[in-house]
Structures are given as structure tokens and as C-alpha cells.
Amino acid sequence: MPVIVLDNATTLSLKKTCGLTKIPTAKCVNDYDKANLMNVRQKILGLKKLYPTLIFIDPNKIICENKKCVTSINKVPLYYTDGENSHLSYAGSTLIGKLYLNKVGNPFDLKIS
């Protein structure tokens, strides 16, 4: 069963610590379409037609909501680095994984009838 973990939204110009200060000074969200490489993403998602058993895991189902992507959830910074090549932190990816399982479910649960 092939699995693709889609790329997480980038922080773009936001700092990885945006929103974690006691006095918020900026709105710490990015537009979903700008934070994701939509043309690449669409090509990858199109693989499902060729490979129907393909499983996608999309961290943006947790990071982004209502077309806005955040840099932290519940005061937990999601990113280790910021900018266009931002990478998730250990704490951030762990939180995203737990929230993903609660929201979407385990993509590896086999439903055998």
C-alpha cells in the first residue's frame, strides 16, 4: 500500500515563534494557497487516479483551517525553521500527528469485511 505524506504549509514570511509572545503583535496566519505549492500538490493528488490504493497523509488538515495556516497550535510551535523551506519541529509534528489521528483517523487501519 503506497503512502505519500504531503508537504506541510510553509511559514513564508512569518517567524516560527509568531504568536507565542505574551503580547501578540502580529496575526500569525498565512493564506493556504500561498503557503502551499498548489500546482505540485495537484499533480501529486492526481496520482490517485493512476493508483487507487494510494494513501495521502496531509498535515495541512491540522495546520490549516478555513484557508488559513498557523505557526502554532495551543501555544506549541509547529516549526523548527521558518521561511519558504520551513520544517516541522519534533513537538509540532507530534502534536499534528495526535490531532490528525483524532480528526481524520488512522490511515493505516485496514477495514476488512
Number of domains the chain contains: 1
84-to-31, 45, 74, 99, 113 alpha-carbon distances in Å: 13, 21, 23, 24, 44
Residue 60 near residue 32 (C-beta atoms within 8 A) = yes
More confident residue, 56 or 82: 56
Classify residue 108: in a domain, yes or no.
no
Q: What is the pLDDT of residues 31-60, one digit of tens each?
A: 877 767 677 788 888 999 999 989 999 999
pLDDT value of residue 47: 92
Question: Is 48 among the domain residues?
Answer: yes
- Helix H segments across 16-105? 32-35, 38-45, 47-50, 60-63, 90-103
In a domain, 112, yes or no: no
pLDDT of residue 5: 92
Domain hosting 15: range is: 3-103
Residue 61, in any domain of the structure: yes
